[in-house]
Structure 1
């Protein structure tokens, strides 16, 4: 099985997930730094997640979703995943 990375994300899954994180964050009036702090993820890494430049572990998806007050499954559904 091929490893998924930002370079091999031919279907744009990472871009869609990042866009859904950004949209939810902005909808809550939350800064990227505040989200990163709440999710206990480095701010620069959060920026890369939102831009679809980083493959996200399921544990980070859970932490991000919790910080956004949303179920991880809903966050993935919003991203079309």
Structure 2
């Protein structure tokens, strides 16, 4: 089985696009030699991409939480 990967220095937006395009629950992060370095779950990706003001606003936090739940529940 082949897994989608991103590099340690890949842009967050590129990783998010890859997850969205392939409906992935996460990505394998590889180092410069192609060796696995980490797993990036979709739930963490949402936290990286959501602006700080959303996290601070109670109403927007609820919306963000719903998005995270629906994005994180996708299966391969």
Same fold (TM over 0.5): no
Q: Larger helix proportion, structure 1 or 2?
A: 1
Compute the TM-score of the two structures, normalised by the length of structure 2. 0.29
Q: Larger Cα Rg: Structure 1 or Structure 2?
A: 2
Q: Larger strand proportion, structure 1 or 2?
A: 2
